Amino acid sequence: MSDGATEDSKRDVVEVNVGFDGEEGRKAALDCAVEVIREFESLDVLTIEIPRERWTELDAHAAIRYVEENGEAGALDA
Protein backbone atom coordinates (compact mmCIF):
# COMPACT_ATOMS: atom_id res chain seq x y z
CA MET A 1 0.00 0.00 0.00
CA SER A 2 1.34 3.43 -0.86
CA ASP A 3 1.69 6.23 1.68
CA GLY A 4 -1.01 8.20 -0.15
CA ALA A 5 -3.51 5.38 0.25
CA THR A 6 -2.72 5.22 3.97
CA GLU A 7 -3.33 8.96 4.38
CA ASP A 8 -6.58 8.75 2.40
CA SER A 9 -7.76 5.87 4.58
CA LYS A 10 -7.13 7.92 7.74
CA ARG A 11 -9.17 10.83 6.35
CA ASP A 12 -12.04 8.49 5.52
CA VAL A 13 -12.34 7.31 9.15
CA VAL A 14 -13.37 9.67 11.92
CA GLU A 15 -13.47 9.21 15.71
CA VAL A 16 -16.89 10.11 17.07
CA ASN A 17 -18.89 10.05 20.29
CA VAL A 18 -22.29 8.44 19.80
CA GLY A 19 -25.16 8.85 22.25
CA PHE A 20 -27.70 6.05 21.88
CA ASP A 21 -30.97 4.78 23.34
CA GLY A 22 -31.15 1.14 24.35
CA GLU A 23 -29.65 -1.96 22.83
CA GLU A 24 -30.95 -1.11 19.34
CA GLY A 25 -28.98 2.15 19.31
CA ARG A 26 -25.87 0.51 20.75
CA LYS A 27 -26.03 -2.19 18.06
CA ALA A 28 -26.48 0.41 15.29
CA ALA A 29 -23.39 2.28 16.49
CA LEU A 30 -21.31 -0.89 16.80
CA ASP A 31 -22.43 -2.04 13.34
CA CYS A 32 -20.94 1.15 11.85
CA ALA A 33 -17.76 1.01 13.93
CA VAL A 34 -14.38 0.23 12.43
CA GLU A 35 -12.94 0.27 15.95
CA VAL A 36 -14.36 0.78 19.45
CA ILE A 37 -12.26 3.27 21.41
CA ARG A 38 -14.27 3.21 24.65
CA GLU A 39 -17.65 2.39 26.13
CA PHE A 40 -18.88 4.54 28.99
CA GLU A 41 -20.33 2.33 31.73
CA SER A 42 -22.56 4.98 33.32
CA LEU A 43 -23.72 6.66 30.09
CA ASP A 44 -25.28 5.38 26.90
CA VAL A 45 -22.31 6.68 24.92
CA LEU A 46 -19.64 5.04 22.78
CA THR A 47 -16.48 6.51 21.32
CA ILE A 48 -15.88 4.72 18.03
CA GLU A 49 -14.16 5.14 14.70
CA ILE A 50 -16.53 5.06 11.72
CA PRO A 51 -16.15 5.56 7.99
CA ARG A 52 -16.97 9.23 7.34
CA GLU A 53 -19.59 8.29 4.72
CA ARG A 54 -21.64 6.39 7.35
CA TRP A 55 -21.99 9.42 9.68
CA THR A 56 -25.28 10.62 8.17
CA GLU A 57 -26.74 7.11 8.15
CA LEU A 58 -25.87 6.60 11.82
CA ASP A 59 -27.10 10.06 12.84
CA ALA A 60 -30.45 9.41 11.13
CA HIS A 61 -31.09 6.18 13.09
CA ALA A 62 -34.09 6.52 15.41
CA ALA A 63 -32.22 5.12 18.43
CA ILE A 64 -29.19 7.42 18.03
CA ARG A 65 -29.37 10.68 20.02
CA TYR A 66 -26.26 12.31 18.56
CA VAL A 67 -23.04 11.76 16.64
CA GLU A 68 -20.26 14.27 17.30
CA GLU A 69 -16.61 14.29 16.37
CA ASN A 70 -14.43 13.42 19.34
CA GLY A 71 -12.06 16.24 20.21
CA GLU A 72 -8.95 16.29 22.31
CA ALA A 73 -9.19 17.94 25.69
CA GLY A 74 -6.24 19.74 27.20
CA ALA A 75 -5.37 22.12 29.97
CA LEU A 76 -5.79 25.81 29.34
CA ASP A 77 -2.80 28.05 29.90
CA ALA A 78 -3.52 30.75 32.47
List, for residues 1-47, the tens digit of each pLDDT value.
444 445 555 579 999 999 999 999 999 999 999 999 999 989 999 99
Give the residue numbers spanning the domain of 62: 7-69
Per-residue pLDDT, 69: 96
Q: Is residue 74 part of a domain?
A: no
* pLDDT-based confidence at residue 78 (cuts at 50, 70, 90): low
User: Within a domain: residue 33?
Assistant: yes
Task: Give the CA dihedral 63, 69, 74, 76, nearest 10 degrees.
Answer: -100
Give the model's pLDDT for residue 21. 97
Kindly report the length of the chain.
Answer: 78
CATH number, residue 54:
3.30.70.80
Backbone angles phi, psi at 46, to 5 degrees: -120, 145
- Give the count of domains, the chain: 1
Return the minimum-mean-pLDDT range out of 3-7, 49-53, 66-70.
3-7
